Structure 1
Amino acid sequence: MADLETFLALERRVWEALVAGDPAADGAMLEDGFLGVYSDGFAAKADHAGQLAGGPTVARYELGDARLLELAPGVVLLAYRAEFVRVGSQELEAMYVSSVWRRAEDGGPVVWRNVFSQDTAEGGPVPV
């Protein structure tokens, strides 16, 4: 059975790349065929990592209320609530995120890659 903390740690690596403005670290967590579904449309791996070309996009974040669903052997869905502040803003935002992680089958150590992510905004800004 998949471990919730393992996948939260993986997800935090993606968020930390957003905080650091590190497109290489972000891209390293995503499968080549990654698909993101966001309020402004679809995103591929290059789009997701490309958003960091100008530097960090997130100033701080917190993940909570996480749930894990094993979809198939080597495939899990992590769902959670994220609170975050974008760079240059003081406004705390919240959204629900669903991320599908797939175990890489390369014969080496176990490596998980994010293959799909969808964000759903939580009704509007949260007062700080």
Structure 2
Amino acid sequence: MHDLGTQFFVDLESQVWDALASGDADADRELLSDDFVGVYPTGFANRGDHAGEVADGPSVAKYAITDARLIDVSADAVMLCYRADYQRPAHSAVDVMFISSLWVRRQGRWWNTFSQDTPAAS
């Protein structure tokens, strides 16, 4: 079992969401590895694609992370799986996704290297 605990990684993941909510592409890039891969309903994305989501401003108005689970992959890698309830700016509907994010420690620092978002069935 990883010694940092689930909340540590929820806090890291929240920083990614906070960057999307504030429209801060630089903060987003700071959390994702150079070799980041995102798997989304629209296809694959790299680090630049992910940060580009906020090119015109925030892509998320508010969010909540719940039902977080941590899977130990190795001493330097964990998979954080959770439910995300979120609203887009200027939308009243709340969307729900189930997300898996791989966090890897490289040179003493944790990086988000992979994320897969699965929309919840309606």
TM-score between the two structures when normalised by the length of structure 1: 0.92
Identity over the aligned pairs, expressed in percent? 43
CA distance in 1, matches of 2:53, 2:119: 18
Equivalent position SS for 1:58? coil
Q: Which of 25, 28, 37 is the aligned partner of 2:27? A: 25
Q: Partner of 2:49: helix, strand, or coil?
A: helix
- Tell me how many residue pairs correspond in the alignment: 120
Name the residue aligned to 2:82: 80
1:36-55 matches, cutoff 5 A: 36-55=38-57
Structure 1 distance, partners of 2:11, 2:120, is 23
Tell me the residue number matched to 2:119.
121
Counterpart-to-counterpart distance in 1, 2:95 and 2:53: 18
Task: Name structure 2 gaps, 5 residues minimum.
Answer: none
State the distance in 1 between where 2:65 and 2:20 align.
14
2:54 corresponds to 1:56:
no
Equivalent position of 1:5 in the other structure:
7
CA–CA distance in structure 1, aligned partners of residues 54 and 36 of structure 2: 16
User: Which residue matches 1:101?
Assistant: 103
Per-residue Cα deviation, 1:22-73 (whole angstroms, up to 9, x for no partner): 0000000000000000000000000000111100000000000000001012
Question: 1:123: Cα distance to partner?
Answer: 1.0
In the other structure, the counterpart of 2:91 is 89
User: Unaligned 5+ residue runs, structure 1?
Assistant: none
Partner-residue secondary structure (3-state), 2:34: strand
Letter in 1 for 2:97: M
CA distance in structure 2 between the partners assigned to 1:93 and 1:22 by the alignment = 21
> Matches of 2:57 and 2:5 in 1, distance apart?
32
CA RMSD of the aligned region, Å? 0.7
Runs of 4+ in 1 over 6 A off after TM superposition: none
Residue type of the partner of 1:57?
A: S
